[in-house]
Every structure is written in structure tokens, then in C-alpha cells.
Amino acid sequence: MAQPAAMPVGAASVAVRQASLREHNLALVLRHIATAARPPSRADLATITGLTRATVSALVDDLITGRLLSEVVRTPRSGAGRPALGLTLAGHGPVGLGLEINVDYLAAVLVDLPGAVRHRAVRRIDLRPVPPAEALALVAELITEAGTEADRQDLVLAGTALAVPGLVSATGVVRLAPNLGWRDVDVPALLGGHPMLSGRGLSVDNEANLAALGELHAGPPDSANFIYISGEVGIGAGIVLHGTLFRGARGWSGELGHVPVHPDGRPCRCGGLGCLEQYAGQEAILAGAGLTDGPTPLARLIEAAGRDEPTARRALVEAATALGVAIAGVINLLDVDTVVLGGVYAPLAGWLGPPVEAEIRRRVLTAAWSPVTVRPALLGGDGAAVGAAGSVVRTVLEQPARWLARPLR
Amino acid sequence: MAQPAAMPVGAASVAVRQASLREHNLALVLRHIATAARPPSRADLATITGLTRATVSALVDDLITGRLLSEVVRTPRSGAGRPALGLTLAGHGPVGLGLEINVDYLAAVLVDLPGAVRHRAVRRIDLRPVPPAEALALVAELITEAGTEADRQDLVLAGTALAVPGLVSATGVVRLAPNLGWRDVDVPALLGGHPMLSGRGLSVDNEANLAALGELHAGPPDSANFIYISGEVGIGAGIVLHGTLFRGARGWSGELGHVPVHPDGRPCRCGGLGCLEQYAGQEAILAGAGLTDGPTPLARLIEAAGRDEPTARRALVEAATALGVAIAGVINLLDVDTVVLGGVYAPLAGWLGPPVEAEIRRRVLTAAWSPVTVRPALLGGDGAAVGAAGSVVRTVLEQPARWLARPLR
């Protein structure tokens, strides 16, 4: 009946075979190192995991050879003893490529195993008039650039995740992205042939979901229940409950932008009336502030709000009030304790926060004794791309054996 | 490494000790019998579970002695052979007592192990002017009556669950029930001393949550993702996702009645404006139909709607439209595929359904390729009480060893 101490057995692994023991233990060692407060030594790891020191050393050697771990001198040399070597995640090994297609920009980032952003590129472009194949050709350019940059830094591309502002099927087909005008766009078919992607895996997901995942891993350890709101031209939400992304019954949860806030109000691109997007989306805010023409409207909005320009401030209050109405509905339904303002909402959080909080106080039944925190996203404007890259990196951390067994290129 | 075939090991049971093996196997045998298409024999159970026939027989004997199983003759005697005996859940053993306090009625039901309702009592009374202690004294009368009825039928009260239209703490304190005017009512302290409850356990939960659980177990096996909407004076929701009741981060999910549908609309008892309750709650419907005075207004509403009386029909369409707006928001957020209309909505579902469906088609982004079913609740108006009783019964089925070890009374 006894289990080897180092191998946690989950419901999905009732019949764990001996052959997979090494896989489990590699991941276990890596997990301890990733979450340790200071770089543990091999001896520390043996104590923590209950594995023998010889086993730990063999696993650690494999992980170092595979460029997943680095050894660092942990304590300064004092007297004649050897310095203790601590183990940390390697910054010179695999990186995840995170891509984002949004309505008015494209983004690409490389994130390494310790979580540092090693490369970042953003292209401002209005993609609404651009056909999907052409938009994906622009994405392919970003991939080439990122791949070249990874080579230059001697990093290894572990995989790619693409964030899109729409509904994505399990096979990566964008079923609907209303603000892009996309419908049934088979992204893996159009992009998967890129030489830097082939064989490395390409996943496609909703941008708010990926940003929420990024926020979950970047955020404080107690941020287990929150709604991440991605304010762009469209408005999406990633819902994290008990530390897990909630995808809904069919994977299409979080369409906050189409929650009705004024049932008989403005028509929406989706065919509905009075959707939140029409009151709190980026374009509604800019139109309200009289900033639809000219370059860098968002920067000008922030500047105008900063100097208390009445039209800009009023536009932000109006948007935030609509946002607060929708958020109050979400909290009444889902009982989350934190609202994370992401996308363009992040730099506007100082102005959007108070009216949102006022609506929550006014409309959430439990608000009096169960306070709700409203805060800007930690990852900023390219949170979806960073979250996408992070999702690739976490796959490597969770399945190191797979990484070690990859065909070398 | 091998696990005994009959003991599924979950994440929570890594270090299962030999002593708990019997508990696991008792529950396992009971689960197979509860879900079997026809009453299995002891030999069938040995084959299914992989346990020896001697072990199965010992477990089954204990379960029969404990009044959890009955033996039935499965095939007619043919020729000289002994008849095969099949095993079914016992209808003469434990029953769960389900209670409901709502704004204008109290209900009590007894449900047995196979799920049959063995006793049912409903008292119509407007509880708004009644202080909580007095309301609970009326509930105590229902408990006494149900206990007497259980004795008369030679059933054993296994435990009690109480459904309330409000927010309940983990310890059973009703933190807030706006339509009852209750705040911080310690139900276990006020009710737990009842002689028929002492030592048997009393749990308190939100009525929509309990009704949703009842619906989950009464419904078709594929009903894994739905929102159960409890239409009463207030409106609550029980959210079932992947076959599990979703309670929210702090246990206070599902406050659908306070989702804003007209942000600047009618003031609500909760302090908000334009809450769904003000447009689709029972009182809003009856007021719209001009049926606030006189007895049995709901029956008169159904009768008026049945003969196409224009005021009644218009009131129902208006309520259903508001309900549909709020439901569209829920589906956009949570991506559930089924909406169950419960409480007073169940008998009105024929009139409420089509406008609700129209709002879903109009406002849910995925509605075009991902149809949503709107249907009346299977359990009818006392679904919360039946669900409450069912929750007690399921505890017995999941932990039969605890039941068998109870002190006999």
C-alpha cells in the first residue's frame, strides 16, 4: 500500500508504473526548486523529497545537462570548506514564445524558465480591415524575429502560445472574434508551418484567459479567486476560482464584453443591444473623451485625465460605472474577492477604480462584510502575451522529462 | 505499487490505511448498487469490484443489517434452481429530512434512500412580519410532525438540512436574507436543541443551492452544466459546473436576483438599483398582472395566462425578458448549456421560456452554434426541500460506515 514518499499520487494516476517514476521525480525536484525561497542544495532536496541523495544527484545532473537548472554558489567561501551549491531554474535554457493578436496591435514576447521577459515586440496596427491570413503573416514575421533573438541569446524555443480576442475551439480554430471580424479561422493550419514552430507545439487560447493565467502566476500567492478583465477594443474576462482558470462548460466563458448593461441600449457588433463593450470598451471611452482622431489616443487620454480635463474624466467615470454594473453582476454570481483591471484598464486603473468600487458597494449583496479588491494588473498591457509565454514555460516545468527527451535540433 | 482493484485512490487518499479499506469498500458496493440498471447479485458485485465473493458477502450482510440494502427476488423461480437475489437500496431504513423556509411558505419532506418522498408538508404563511425565532418555532413544529411520521413508517431520521433564501455562513448562520429581513440569525443555535435533531446533524444552506443539487441528482445523467434559477419573492441561482455545485470563493455565489438589469431602474431591498428581482421576482410578476390582492395569486396567474388574458401574458413576457437579459449575462460569463426554471418559474415555464430563449439568442455570443436548453425544474415547487433531504441521503450513501457505526436509538 505504501507509496514512494517522493511520488504524489493523484486521482488520474492510480496505476502509476515504475517507468514513470523518474518523470514524477524530475518534476517534483524541479517544482521544489521553482518554489523554494532560497536555492536548495542537493542535500536539501533529498531531505525535502525523501529520495536518496544519489537519486537526487542523478536527477539534478540530468536537469542541469538539459539546461533546466543552474548551480549557483550559495554561501561565500569561508575557510577551507567547499562552497555550498544551490540550484535555481536556468535562464539559459528553454523559453516560451507568447504571441498576441488584438484589434489594434500585435505582440510577441519570450519568457524564460525563471519568468524573465527576454524579448518583447509590439506592433501597433488596426487589424480590422486586414484579412486573417494577412494578419497571421504579420504574426509570422514576429515569430521569425523572436526566433532569431532566441538564437542570438542562445535560448531554446520550447513552444508557442497565441492569444486572440475571441472564442477558440479545442483545436485552436478561432470560432468568432467579433471585433476582428474573424469567424472560423484555422490558426494552426495557417501558422503551424512556420519553420520555427514545427514540431514545437502551437496552442491558441483566448487572450483574457492567458492574461489571467499570467496574473495568477505573477500575483501574490493568495490571489486564488479573481476576475481578470481585459479592456481593449473588446472586453474579455478570465475567471480564476480556487487557483484554477475557469473555462466554462464548453471553454467559452468570460465574455464579459457582451454582458448587457443597458438592455435597450446601443447596438453591438455581436447583434445584441447594450453590451458592456459599447459603454466601457476602449473606443467608447475614447469617443466619450473626444479622442477618436489622431495618434496615440490612449496616451493623450491618460495625459488629459492626469490634468483633470473634464471631458476625459467624465468619459472615464461613465465607462467605469458601466464596468462596475457588470462587475457587480459577476460578483453577485461568482463571489470572487478580487477584480484585476488589465489591458488598457491597467494604466487607467487610478481613475476607473473608484467608480467601479462604488458600484460594487452599491450593488453587491455581500459587499458590506466581504470586501472586494479592485487593482490594476501586474503584467501591464502585454499581459496576454506574457501569460501565453508563461503557459509554455509552465508546461516544461510540469513535464521536464518530455523536454529532456526532445529530439535535439 | 498495485492498488487493490476495489479501492479507488484519489488525491486526498495517498496514505490510505488498511483500517479504512472496509469504509471504502462499503461505499463502493453501495455506489454500484445505487447506480446499477438492475439489482445486482452478490456474484455480480464481486465481478464488478474485483473483491472476493466472501468479502462482498460480508459487506452486503452488514449493509442489510444496517437497513441500507434490501434483497429482492430478481428472476422468477424456474424449475428447481434457487432464485437469484438482487440487491437494492432499502426503502425501510434512513430518511433525510429536508426543510425550507421561504418568504411565503415553509416546507418539510422526508426522502428515503432510493429517493422517494415519504412525507411532504407545506405551510403557506407570509414570514416577512414574523421574527426569526418565531419562524423557526414554526419550523420546529414541522420537524416534530415529520419525526412522528418517520416513526409511524418505521423509518430512521438520518439527518436534517434546511434551505433558506439567503446567504449562509459555513457554520449555518444566516448572514443575510433580504426578503425575510433576516440578518445574522444563528439557526443551529435556535433549532439544534430540537429533540429530533440532537446528535443527528443539522446543515443549513442556500435554497437555490440545495434545489440545484436536487435537480442534479434527479435530472438526466448528462445534465452536468446548468444554472438552476429559483424564482420566488427573491430570485436565487444554483450553478452546477462539471457535475459539481459551484459555491464561489466564499460560498456566496448565485445571487442572480441582485444582478442589475436596469442600472438606473427600480430601487431594491438590497440597496441597489434595477436588480433583477424588481422585474422578475414573484411580486413584480403578480403586480404587473394586477393580482396582488386575494388568495392563491399564483394559481390565478396561471389560470389567466392559460386563457390568454392580456395583462397576465404581458406581465409574464416583461418578467421573462428581464430574466432573459440576466441569464444571457450568466451564459456569456459561465458558458452553461442548460437553464432550469425552478420555484414559481417551473409552472410558468411554458410562458416564460420563449422570451427567455429569445433574449439568449439575441445576446449570447455563442448561441448560434452552441444551443442553450431552457426547461422547467423536474422537482417542482418544493425542489429546495427535496434537494435538502436528498443531500442528507447522499451523505449516508457516501459514508455508509459512519451510518453503520452510529449509536442506536
The DSSP secondary-structure symbol of B20 reads: G
Contact A363 B275 (CB under 8 A): yes
Q: Could you tell me the sign of the dihedral formed by the alpha carbons of A267, A269, A271, A275, in that order?
A: negative
A190 against B11, higher pLDDT: A190
Computed over its alpha carbons, how large is the radius of gyration of chain B? Answer: 23
pLDDT of residue A128: 93
Residue tagged 562552497 (cell numbers): A83
Amino acid sitting at position A253? S
Q: Beta strand A156-164 with A202-206: parallel, antiparallel or unpaired?
A: parallel
- Asked if pLDDT for residue B363 goes beyond 60, the answer is yes
- Decide: A25 and A55 in contact? Cβ < 8 Å: yes
Contact A362 B337 (CB under 8 A): no
Q: Beta strand B182-186 with A156-164: parallel, antiparallel or unpaired?
A: unpaired
- Decide: A43 and A86 in contact? Cβ < 8 Å: no
Q: How far is B45 from chain A (nearest CA, A)?
A: 21
Checking ipTM against 0.85, whether it exceeds it is no
CA A239 to CA B333: how far, in whole Å?
Answer: 9
pLDDT above 70: percentage of residues in chain B = 92
CA A92 to CA B209: how far, in whole Å?
Answer: 51
Name the band, by pLDDT with cuts 50, 70 and 90, for residue B5.
Answer: very low
Q: Which residues of A touch B326 (CB under 8 A)?
A: 329
Q: Which residues of A touch B178 (CB under 8 A)?
A: 365
CA–CA distances in Å: residue A198 to residues A139, A202, A253: 15, 8, 30
CA A237 to CA A313: how far, in whole Å?
Answer: 24
- Asked if pLDDT for residue B16 goes beyond 80, the answer is no
Pick the residue of B216, B244, B255 with the most A CBs within 10 A to test the interface with A by mutation.
B255
The number of residues in chain B equals 409
- Asked if pLDDT for residue B9 goes beyond 70, the answer is no
Query: Which residue in B116, B106, B114, B261 sits closest to B191, CA to CA?
Result: B106
pLDDT of residue A7: 38
CA B285 to CA B144: how far, in whole Å?
Answer: 35
Cell of B146: 415529520
A259 → closest Cβ in B14, B246, B333 = B333
Cβ–Cβ contacts within 10 Å for residue A21, how many?
A: 15
Contact A250 B275 (CB under 8 A): no
- How is the beta sheet containing A226-231 ordered, strand by strand? A244-246, A235-241, A226-231, A338-343, A373-376
Q: Which domains are present in chain B?
A: 11-89 (1.10.10.10), 94-207+384-404 (3.30.420.40), 220-377 (3.30.420.40)
Q: What share of chain B is helix, strand, coil (3-state, %, to 5)?
A: 40, 20, 35
Pick the residue of A7, A175, A333 with the most B CBs within 10 A to test the interface with B by mutation.
A333
Question: Phi/psi of residue B205, each to 5°?
Answer: -150, 165
Q: Which residues of B touch A250 (CB under 8 A)?
A: 335, 337, 366, 370
How far does Cα A39 stand from its chain's mean position? 26
pLDDT of residue A118: 96
Give a three-class secondary structure readout of A264-287.
Answer: CCCECCCCCECECHHHHCHHHHHH
Average pLDDT for residues B193-222, to the nearest whole number?
87
Query: Which residue in A257, A13, A231 sits closest to B332, CA to CA?
Result: A257
Q: What is the mean pLDDT of chain B?
A: 90
In sequence order, the β-bridge partners of residue A159 are A96
Computed over its alpha carbons, how large is the radius of gyration of chain A? Answer: 23
Contact A1 B16 (CB under 8 A): yes
Average pLDDT for residues B328-339, to the nearest whole number?
94
pLDDT tens string B348-361: 999 999 999 999 99
Q: How far is B288 from chain A (nearest CA, A)?
A: 19
B263 → closest Cβ in A224, A325, A369 = A325
The DSSP secondary-structure symbol of A381 reads: G
Contact A241 B239 (CB under 8 A): no
The DSSP secondary-structure symbol of A130 reads: S
Q: Which residues of A touch B9 (CB under 8 A)?
A: 9, 11, 14
CA B223 to CA B226: how far, in whole Å?
Answer: 7
CA–CA distances in Å: residue A304 to residues A346, A381, B243: 16, 19, 50
Q: Indicate the helix (H) or strand (E) that contains B303.
A: helix B297-306
Query: Which residue in A30, A38, A98 sits closest to A66, CA to CA?
Result: A30
Cβ–Cβ contacts within 10 Å for residue A94, how many?
A: 26
Contact A16 B1 (CB under 8 A): yes
pLDDT of residue A407: 73
Cell of A168: 477558440
Question: Phi/psi of residue A369, each to 5°?
Answer: -115, 5
- Asked if pLDDT for residue B10 goes beyond 50, the answer is no
pLDDT of residue B6: 39
pLDDT tens string B55-83: 999 999 999 999 999 999 876 555 556 67
Pick the residue of B335, B336, B369 with the most A CBs within 10 A to test the interface with A by mutation.
B335
Q: How far apart are the first and last CA of chain A?
A: 43
Query: Which residue in A234, A83, A159 sits closest to A395, CA to CA?
Result: A159
Q: Beta strand A69-73 with A85-89: parallel, antiparallel or unpaired?
A: antiparallel
Contact B337 A9 (CB under 8 A): no
Residue tagged 550559495 (cell numbers): A74
Q: Which residues of B touch A272 (CB under 8 A)?
A: 328, 362-363
Per-residue pLDDT of chain A (409 residues; tens, 9 = 90+): 333 333 333 333 333 455 588 999 999 999 999 989 899 999 999 999 999 999 999 999 999 999 999 999 876 555 556 667 899 999 999 999 999 999 999 999 999 999 999 999 999 999 999 999 999 999 999 999 999 999 999 999 999 999 999 999 989 999 999 899 999 999 999 998 898 887 778 999 999 999 999 999 887 776 789 999 999 999 999 999 888 999 888 888 999 999 999 999 999 988 899 999 999 999 999 999 999 888 889 999 999 999 999 999 999 999 999 999 999 999 999 999 999 999 999 999 999 999 999 999 999 988 888 889 999 998 877 899 999 999 999 999 999 999 999 876 5
pLDDT of residue A8: 37
Query: Which residue in B322, B407, B395, B358 sits closest to B113, CA to CA?
Result: B395
Q: How far is B247 from chain A (nearest CA, A)?
A: 8
- Decide: A59 and A25 in contact? Cβ < 8 Å: yes
- Written as one string, the DSSP assignment of B85-105 is EEEEE-SSSEEEEEEEE-SSE
Question: Phi/psi of residue B84, each to 5°?
Answer: -75, 135
The residue ranges of DSSP E strands in B242-394, in sequence order, are 244-246, 338-343, 373-376
- Compute the half-sphere exposure of residue B210: CA atoms within 13 Å on the CB side of its CA: 34
Amino acid sitting at position A21? L
The DSSP secondary-structure symbol of B267 reads: B
A363 → closest Cβ in B1, B250, B272 = B272
Nearest CA in chain A to B275: A363
CA–CA distances in Å: residue B354 to residues A317, A360, B106, B261, B285: 37, 32, 31, 19, 16
